[in-house]
Amino acid sequence: MNTPLRRVGLAMLAMVVLLLANATYIHVVKAADYRDDPRNQRQLLYEYSRERGQIVSQFGGTILAQSSKTNDRLQYLRKYRSGPMYAPITGYYSWRYGSDGMERASNDILTGEDERLIVRRLSDIITGRDPRGGHVQVTIDPAVQQAAYNAMVSRGFTGSVVALRPDTGEILGMVSTPSYDPNKLASHDGDKQEQAWASWNCDPAAPNCTHNNPMLNRSVQQTYPPGSTFKLVVTAAALESGMTMDTPVESASEVPLPGTTGITLENYAGATCPGSTLRDALAYSCNTAFAKLAEKLGAQKLRSTARKFGIGMDDLSIPLDVEQSHLGPLDSSAVLYQSGIGQRDVRLTPLQDAMLSATIANGGVTMKPQLVKELLAPDLSTLEEYESEELMDEPALSSQNAEVLRDMMIASEANTSGEGKRSDLTIASKTGTAEHGADPKNTPPHAWYTAFAPAHDPKVAVAVIVESGGDRGLAATGGSVAAGIGRLTINAALGEG
């Protein structure tokens, strides 16, 4: 009977070996997956037990987010200054819903987990100090952010404003409305978190839903048809192909869509273009001219120029992940016609739209947009300073052509209505009025405005989108709805708001 008993003993041994092998797999191989799963709150609870670093502005050291000591189990409470205003930048930090925005993108620094902080943490342990996280200094200018946010909110607009420094790519303002208050998600009261989360994440079509996706960061997570603002890309491609601002272009009030019968593409309000040069076409935003121009340039040329502006990049991180802007398939003349005026399947993020102006302002060179200026250790010494860098290997257009395009944009601004015009400031701009939806002619269009100023010494480039006509309904245009907000933002950036 001992032989089978010995075998049973071996079976017992085998069972434990099997358990150990499996435990090794779980503890070692799969450990990171399980540890970082968003549903695993252990890491978050651990992080809460330490002082999380601050998110501060590079201007005046304004603190956007900081942790303060509490008496409950989650030892530190995260507080956000002007929560809804800065929410697209800070994101939120919730023990129930994880984190987003800079809270997520810079989590390692803020918690002190970053490897550059490990040595300092060791010395903290030895000296008996509570471990603390590092700080993140963002490029945001509170004045710009506030002006743009107030402009949008006071009018009740849904949309986004982005302001960039053309020469560095620093993001001075990034507004998305409607917004949400991250303080509610940082609450240590789970029920409050849950209520807030539920009210912000309801289906806007539902009868008792009072919000319209406030947690969506429209500046970088949402793409829209750019409408006429896309004509900047088409014009850049045309200039780079050897045309000049005086090159004659189509001026008819409507052109038939190739390959179709009876369907036409027409100018705004069915008007004939007041001029017949490229310059006039842009200044008056003549659709027929750009439809034909796009077809003449061809899909390849359009795509390569767009690419140099950053359109089509799927890995842009500022370090928030930026949704890919794209042209869609340009596979027929009809599609090229419609794409030439920023319709059809062309989609840009508001950030990308601001980058169009910024590129032209910066002599044709697109700078990589960035939200982080500096990473700081808990003692405020610098860990890493972000250098500005060019987004692409080659400029989108030559500096001469950029100047030409700038002058064309100045002419466009002269034809643009809207509030906030100043005689002492030259702005270069382009408006857009983008149709969208299943019934475009009867859906209030998106109103766009992209600009930079001062035109001859650019300090700021902006893009504004107001979804679905703002307060003007079907009659909305980029000039009447969006331009005023853009100009307010520019003024704030120039210190004259």
Partner 1 sequence: MNRPLGLVGGREPEAATTNPGGAAPATRRGTELLMLAFAAVIMTTAIVLVDANQEQELTLAIVWYGLAYLGIFAVAHLAVRRWAPYADPLILPCVALLNGFGLVMIYRIDLALTERATQVGGEFTGVAPRQVIWTVVALALFLGVLIVIKDHRALTRYSYTSGLVGLVLLSLPAVLPSAISEVNGAKVWIKLGFFSIQPGEFAKILLLIFFASFLVSKRDLFTVAGKRVLGVELPRARDLGPIVIAAGVCLGIFVLEKDLGPALLFFGVVLMLLYVATERFIWVAVGLTIFGVGCVVAYQLFSHVEQRVANWIDPLATYNEPGGGYQVAQALFGLGTGGVLGTGLGAGRPETVPEANTDFILAGIGEETGFIGLAAVLMVYLLLGMRGMRGALAVRDTFGKLLGGGLAFTLVMQVFVVTGGVTKLIPMTGITSPFLSYGGSSLLANYILVALLLRISDAARRPQQQSRPRPVQQQAPIADAHTVMVQASSGGGQVPVAQPAPPVRPATPAPPAAPAQPANGSAAAQGPAAPANGGESASTSDKASEQAEGTEQSDSTEGESKS
Task: By CB under 8 A, name the binding residues for partner 1.
Answer: 1-13, 15-16, 18-20, 22-24, 26-28, 30-35, 37, 39-43, 45-46, 72-73
Contact 228, 483 (CB under 8 A): no
Closest distance to partner 1 from the beta carbon of 22 (Å): 4
Residue 57 appears among annotated catalytic residues: no
285-288 long-range Cβ contacts below 8 angstroms, 24+ apart: 285/228, 285/231, 285/412, 285/430, 285/431, 286/249, 286/250, 286/251, 287/228, 287/341, 288/250, 288/251, 288/252, 288/253, 288/254, 288/255
Contact 429, 450 (CB under 8 A): yes
Of the pair 46, 263, the CB lying nearest partner 1 is at 46
Cβ burial 395-425 (10 Å sphere, 16+ → b, else e): bbbeeebbebbbebbbbbbeebebebeeeee
Closest distance to partner 1 from the beta carbon of 1 (Å): 5
DSSP codes of every residue in 280-322: HHHHTT-HHHHHHHHHHHHHHHHHHHHHHHTTT-S--BSSSB-
Closest distance to partner 1 from the beta carbon of 194 (Å): 14
Q: Which of 57, 228, 325, 333 is catalytic?
A: 228
Of the pair 17, 474, the CB lying nearest partner 1 is at 17
Report the distance separating Cα 453 and Cα 428, nearest Å.
6
State the distance between the two ends of the chain, measured CA to CA, in whole angstroms.
95
Closest distance to partner 1 from the beta carbon of 108 (Å): 16
Phi and psi angles of residue 264, each rounded to the nearest 5 degrees, phi first: -120, 160
Q: 58: burial class by Cβ within 10 Å (0-12, 13-18, 19+)?
A: middle
Q: Is 428 helix (H, G, I), strand (E, B) or coil?
A: strand
Closest distance to partner 1 from the beta carbon of 153 (Å): 36
Closest distance to partner 1 from the beta carbon of 136 (Å): 25
Of the pair 108, 266, the CB lying nearest partner 1 is at 108
Q: Is 491 helix (H, G, I), strand (E, B) or coil?
A: helix
Phi and psi angles of residue 398, each rounded to the nearest 5 degrees, phi first: -65, 160
Of the pair 38, 329, the CB lying nearest partner 1 is at 38
Report the distance separating Cα 141 and Cα 163, nearest Å.
9
Of the pair 49, 399, the CB lying nearest partner 1 is at 49
Residue type, 5: L
Closest distance to partner 1 from the beta carbon of 459 (Å): 48
Q: What is the bridge-based pairing of β-strands 171-177 and 254-256?
A: unpaired
Q: Among residues 248, 245, 314, which one has the least CA distance to residue 283?
A: 245
Of the pair 27, 116, the CB lying nearest partner 1 is at 27
Residues labelled as active-site residues: 228
